[in-house]
Structures are given as C-alpha cells and as structure tokens.
Homo-oligomer: A and B are copies of this chain.
Amino acid sequence: MKKIGEQTIVFEKNIYIESSGTVVGPKEREGPIGSSFDRAYDDLYCGEQSWELAERRLMKEAIMICLTKGKVQTHDVDLFIAGDLLNQTVTANYVASELHIPFLGVFSACSTMTEAMLVASTFIDGAFARRVLVATSSHYGAAERQFRFPTTIGVQKGESASWTVTGGAAALLSTTRSPFRIRTATIGRVIDSGVTDPLDMGRAMAPAAFATIRQHLIDCGLSIEAYDVIITGDLGKVGSSELKSLCYDAGMNLSERYDDCGVLIYDTEQQAFAGGSGCACCAVVTYSYFLEKMRERKIKTMLVVATGALFNSTMMKQNQTIPAIAHAIAIEAVT
C-alpha cells in the first residue's frame, strides 16, 4: 500500500511539476506579488462579454501558457483534471470541450487545486496516465453574483469577508524531471464546525486546514519543522489567525513557517477585507510566487494546503452550516 497512516499517500515514482501557467485580473496584478504572474488583464472582462466568459478565458490562457512553457501539445497530455467555482463547474467543462483531452471533473471549492494535483499524481504513480494537466479558475464578479449579491447593489461587507481572486492557473504533472517534485499528498476529511456565515469562510475552513496539517505530520511521522514553509489556500486574516491558534494549542509552532495565499495576494490598502479566496487563489500564488522561490532555492520543502468551504445560496437561505475541507500536497526542490 502506498497509503500511510489514515489519509496520506506516498508516491513511489518521482512526479514533477513540469510547467505551470498563471493569468490574473487587475487587482491581483496591482497586489504585492503582482509581478510573479505570467499574464494579467487590465479589467475584469478580459476582453469578453461577461465575467463568466472572462473566467473561461483565464483558465484557457493559463493552460496555453503552461503547455507552451512545457513545450507540450495537447495530444501529449493523457488526462485533464480541473474544477472551478461556477455552479456545475461549467468553466472547466467548457475549456475541456475545446481541449479534447480525456477529462475528470473534481470539486472541493477552493481546495480543488490540491485535489486535482493529488488525483493527477495517483494516476501517474499508478501508471494510469503519463502526463496530466490540472487547472482551476475563479472570478470576482462571477463568484459575487452567484454566491452573494450582484456587485452593483454595493452590499457592505465586514472584515471577515474575502475577495474572490480573478485568475486561472494550470500545471503539468509527469515524471519528466523538473525542479519541483511532489512527494506525498494528504486527502482531507470534510469538517463541519457549525459556521453559517458565508462572509466568514476563514473561520469555517481553519479547522479543516488544522486537521489536514496535523494528520499529514502524524501519517508521515514528521514534525512541523520538516517544512520550510506551510501555506494555506485562502483562510485570510481571520482564518489564518484561527489556524495559528489551533496549532499553538496543539503544541505545533506553525507561525514561523506559515503563509496564506489569500493574505499574500492583496495589500491592506486594496480593500480586500480578510484577503483573497476562490479556486484560483492558492493556485496562482503557488504556481507563480512559491515555485519561483523554490527555483531560487529560498525554499526546499513546502506543504500546500488548499482550503475549501462548501456552500451554496440555497443552503444559506435554509440556515445550514458550511462544511469545509483541505487537501495537502508536499512539494520539494530537486537539486
């Protein structure tokens, strides 16, 4: 068995991130790590007629950049695994219909990025595929009107609210040697901590992130110091501080090696409330900013814990809770 402990998979083959591509919107480009991304648009429509079509373009372009950088054509790819925030994951499916690659749709809200990577890695490790393309996307305007209110209403938000990242991100996984090797993956459990406020997703997701990080370390027999950096997807300021205190209470010193992609992507002056969120958040920051740090050898080992809050507007109207999940992928620099 390649499964160790309760939730973790150790890959036997050397699986690498062969290449990646990231495309973002204007707010992300203006943020503190804006220069890391491969491409950025000046406005939220990205030259399309609607925000939903813009999201589709973002995912498609991220894929094209990724394939071009990897010098790979679509017919060299065995499998495409993707997901997005739009209802029925339509963005991923429209993009898949243009790619003609066998497709598996996955969904765990903003944890979709690591879920796609872990399923891709198992397919490669188990010899079911040689090269797998993964992608995620999200769009501020499309997400706001789907999950909350049309932005034109101008509903006010509190400090725990997040700002959906406008972006598309893609990566190619294979056994072709690159500076980034995927070693282990921890499959999350869904944790429902009773939060019912869709403007407080960080608090809903922090217990899921904590559970996955803790179980990953137990399964692998590692202490938290094994990683140069542990990053969460989009807990934001409120959720990050909640996670740090959960770790502190459990005797784990997370703070020294911790970053949250949602906190990193916007400046305080950008009025993004608690920080970024969305399926693209963890993906654009990891594939651009953190892989670059790894390439520069500033980081050697990294645990990426994308975090997802599962809710829809009908469930919110019925006063239901928001379950959450976090899947983790361990990446190490190859010398």
| Distance of A37 Cα from B23 Cα, bound (Å) | 48
A1 touching B318 in the complex, CB below 8 Å, given contacts A88-B87, A102-B7: no
The reply to whether the CB of A253 lies closer than 8 angstroms to some CB of chain B is no
The reply to whether the CB of A243 lies closer than 8 angstroms to some CB of chain B is no
- Among A125-133, A152-160, A230-238, A265-273, the stretch in contact with B: A125-133
The reply to whether the CB of A86 lies closer than 8 angstroms to some CB of chain B is yes
The reply to whether the CB of A78 lies closer than 8 angstroms to some CB of chain B is yes
* CB-defined A-B contacts under 8 Å, sample of 7: A3-B129, A87-B313, A90-B310, A93-B323, A102-B188, A103-B108, A125-B128
- CB-based contact B188/A103 at 8 Å: yes
The reply to whether the CB of A36 lies closer than 8 angstroms to some CB of chain B is no
Q: Pick from B79, B146, B191, B311: contact of A314, CB below 8 A.
A: B146
- CB-based contact A88/B310 at 8 Å: yes
Copies of this chain, whole number: 2
Q: Pick from B9, B108, B146: contact of A105, CB below 8 A.
A: B108
- CB-based contact A312/B1 at 8 Å: no
- CB-based contact A94/B192 at 8 Å: yes
Residue from A101, A103, A146 with most neighbouring chain B CB atoms (10 Å): A103
Q: Which 6 A-B pairs have the closest CB atoms?
A: A126-B126, A87-B312, A96-B190, A97-B192, A102-B187, A93-B310
The reply to whether the CB of A222 lies closer than 8 angstroms to some CB of chain B is no
The reply to whether the CB of A293 lies closer than 8 angstroms to some CB of chain B is no
| Distance of A88 Cα from B320 Cα, bound (Å) | 14
A103 touching B190 in the complex, CB below 8 Å, given contacts A3-B128, A109-B88: yes
Give per-residue flags for A82-107: 1 if the beta carbon is below 8 A from chain B beta carbons, else 0.
01011111100110110011111111
- CB-based contact A190/B314 at 8 Å: no
The reply to whether the CB of A122 lies closer than 8 angstroms to some CB of chain B is yes
